[in-house]
Amino acid sequence: MHTAELIDFKALVAEAKDILAGNWTGKFTKPAPNLYPHQWNWDAGFIAIGYSHYYMDRAESELRSLFSGQWDNGMVPQIIFNPEFDYNYFPSSDFWETWRSFSAPENKKTSGITMPPVHGFVLQHIYDNAKDKMRALNFVKEMFPKILKMHHYFYNHRDPFNEGLVYIRHPWESGTDNSPTWDAPMERITFDKIKIPPYKRKDLDNGHAEHRPTDYDYNRYIHLIDIYRKCDYNEEAILERCPFVIQDPLFNCILVKSNQALIELATLIDEDVEQLTKWNELSIKSMNEKLWNPKTGIYDAYDLHNDERIEMQASSGLIPVYAHIPNAEQAQQIVDRLLSKSFSGSADQNTYLCPSYNPTSPKFNPKKYWRGPVWINMNWMLHHGLKHYGFTDLAEQLKQESLELINHYGFYEYFDPIKDVVGKEKQGYGSHRFSWSAALCIDFLQDEEDD
Ligand code: GLC
């Protein structure tokens, strides 16, 4: 592994820009050249942050394109389909049958679930990085109401007990698709195999089965989609029938971070902040009262369907530092947890920060997607959160290790966190030339480039 000093920052930024240019479709940027041919919700946000440093037109296009698929009820879908490649991906747009919903747009094909709402804080990055502030202000004016409408959707349709904690109803909504956090609720899903609609996976054409979710997972993913179709995408009906209804700390942290960004942006454009402030205070309170686990120093998830806590072993439970949700004492506990064997490894199992799952757990798998590998977007959020609390060295380490992994292995989708495996040539998995790894690398390196 190269040391940090040997990284050629300029070359890395140039390659990152080349990757984004290669994945650009004319209206938005694909997450990856082949594996993901459509526009994905939170990817678009991270990608826009990268562009905001050097190509504002494209940063704006990312959000415009994504929100062109916003549903009437405010939901912003997980996928906006690219008609050119519709059938290269499963589930394709037809499979979702979103025409059953009164809210789905008629002129855009989308999936019928959402993703972590990064767009509020993305808009703030766009504004902050803009050189032409007048133009940026107009863009804030354009996007603010749309993003706010999405927050209304979450608090009105995904928070049945008015706790300020919104739920996800599909593992894909979490962004951390096959995290072991979802194993227990997924295992409880029983269904008649004969009755799930027939389907053929396409992801395995472009990715190693060993690194991808299993067929067992996929059957359950599809079963959940079938429930939404049968409920005509009516949220109240789905809530009654859906066996997967979970409050995820990552998702809620991102919502809080975006609430805060909208509150700050609102002052620029004279928008009212009362509702946003109320939501936000309630969310933070409930995160700390309901999801915080003082014994383990991490935020847990909560399974609303079974009315029980899911003890968190995934890095998602550390991310609330990003939205400044913990107090100083809790933040210290989070750092202790991050530095303990359960994330940073022990002498004989030394890991790059930050594994997406506790490396000492029997469920940990260093190669399999969200069951252990390092992901650049998670490191980026942790880096910013830790910096805020004054954990400067650790924040820097997260950034350096992210850059080292990218520099040495390439702009992969995810990386093997186990260090020092003799003879291991490859630590980057999933898709190569992955857009958010490129975009966030640009953001990480911005300071260095300016020097
Ligand atoms: C996978 C990831 C998800 C990402 C998508 C597109 O489904 O789990 O977080 O948004 O790929 O990159």
State the Cα–Cα distance between residues 353 and 376, nearest whole angstrom: 10
Residue 325 has pLDDT above 70, yes or no: yes
The rounded Å distance from CA 32 to ligand 1 centre is: 10
State the Cα–Cα distance between residues 126 and 50, nearest whole angstrom: 9
pLDDT tens-digit map of 283-300? 999 999 999 999 999 999
Residues 118 and 43: beta-carbon distance below 8 Å:
no
pLDDT tens-digit map of 192-212? 766 778 888 888 887 788 888
Q: Do β-strands 349-350 and 308-310 pair in parallel, antiparallel, or remain unpaired?
A: unpaired
Residue 148 has pLDDT above 60, yes or no: yes
Mean local confidence (pLDDT), 24-30: 97
Which residues are identified as catalytic?
177, 413
State the Cα–Cα distance between residues 275 and 272, nearest whole angstrom: 8
- Bond into 354 cis (ω within 30): yes
Atom of ligand 1 nearest to the CA of 176: 8
- 451 pLDDT tier (thresholds 50, 70, 90): very low
Q: Which of 360, 351, 355, 374 is nearest to 428 (CA)?
A: 374
State the Cα–Cα distance between residues 281 and 271, nearest whole angstrom: 18
* Residue 122 CB neighbour total at 10 angstroms: 26
Q: Which region among 119-133, 144-158, 170-184, 191-205 has the lowest average model confidence (pLDDT)? A: 191-205
- Ligand 1 near 375 CB (within 6 A): no
- Ligand 1 near 36 CB (within 6 A): yes
The best mutation among 20, 177, 371, 440 to test binding of ligand 1, ranked by most ligand atoms within 8 Å of the C-beta, falls on 177
Q: Structural domain tally of the chain?
A: 1
- Ligand 1 near 37 CB (within 6 A): no
Residues 360 and 342: beta-carbon distance below 8 Å:
yes
Alpha-carbon distances of 309 from 1, 246, 268, rounded to whole Å: 40, 10, 40
% residues pLDDT > 90 (the chain) = 84
- Ligand 1 near 177 CB (within 6 A): yes
- Ligand 1 near 173 CB (within 6 A): no
pLDDT tens-digit map of 118-140? 999 999 999 999 999 999 999 99
Per the structure, the complete domain to which residue 217 belongs is given by 3-450
- 2 pLDDT tier (thresholds 50, 70, 90): very low
The rounded Å distance from CA 40 to ligand 1 centre is: 7
The rounded Å distance from CA 450 to ligand 1 centre is: 31
% residues pLDDT > 70 (the chain) = 95
Residue 450 has pLDDT above 70, yes or no: no
CATH code of the domain in which 299 resides: 1.50.10.10
What pLDDT shows up at residue 158? 98
What pLDDT shows up at residue 385? 98
Residues 373 and 177: beta-carbon distance below 8 Å:
no
Atom of ligand 1 nearest to the CA of 41: 10
pLDDT tens-digit map of 233-274? 999 999 999 999 999 999 999 999 999 999 999 999 999 999
pLDDT tens-digit map of 50-71? 999 999 999 999 999 999 999 9
Mean residue pLDDT across the chain: 94
Decide: pTM greater than 0.85.
yes
Mean local confidence (pLDDT), 370-374: 97
Mean local confidence (pLDDT), 425-448: 91
- Both structure tokens of 31: 């997450």
* Residue 423 CB neighbour total at 10 angstroms: 4
What pLDDT shows up at residue 425? 66
Q: Which of 264, 271, 371, 274 is nearest to 323 (CA)?
A: 264
State the Cα–Cα distance between residues 178 and 250, nearest whole angstrom: 14
Q: Which region among 210-214, 327-331, 401-405 has the lowest average model confidence (pLDDT)? A: 210-214
What pLDDT shows up at residue 401? 94
- Both structure tokens of 51: 């562009």
What pLDDT shows up at residue 333? 98
Residues 91 and 222: beta-carbon distance below 8 Å:
yes
What pLDDT shows up at residue 3? 46
Q: Which amino acid is at 311?
A: E
The rounded Å distance from CA 412 to ligand 1 centre is: 13
Which DSSP string do the residues of 297-325 spell out, in sequence order? TEEPEEETTTTEEE---BGGGTGGGGGT-
Residue 87 has pLDDT above 90, yes or no: no
Residue 423 has pLDDT above 80, yes or no: no
- Ligand 1 near 31 CB (within 6 A): yes
The best mutation among 29, 41, 43 to test binding of ligand 1, ranked by most ligand atoms within 8 Å of the C-beta, falls on 43
Residue identifier of the C-alpha nearest atom 9 of ligand 1: 175
CA dihedral 211, 214, 217, 218 (to 10 degrees): 100
The SS3 of residue 112 is coil
The SS3 of residue 90 is coil
Residue 141 has pLDDT above 50, yes or no: yes
The SS3 of residue 159 is coil
State the Cα–Cα distance between residues 134 and 127, nearest whole angstrom: 10
Which DSSP string do the residues of 337-400 spell out, in sequence order? HHHSHHHHEETTEEB-S--SB-TTSTT--TTSTTSS-B-HHHHHHHHHHHHHTT-HHHHHHHHH
The best mutation among 28, 36, 374 to test binding of ligand 1, ranked by most ligand atoms within 8 Å of the C-beta, falls on 36
- 337 pLDDT tier (thresholds 50, 70, 90): very high
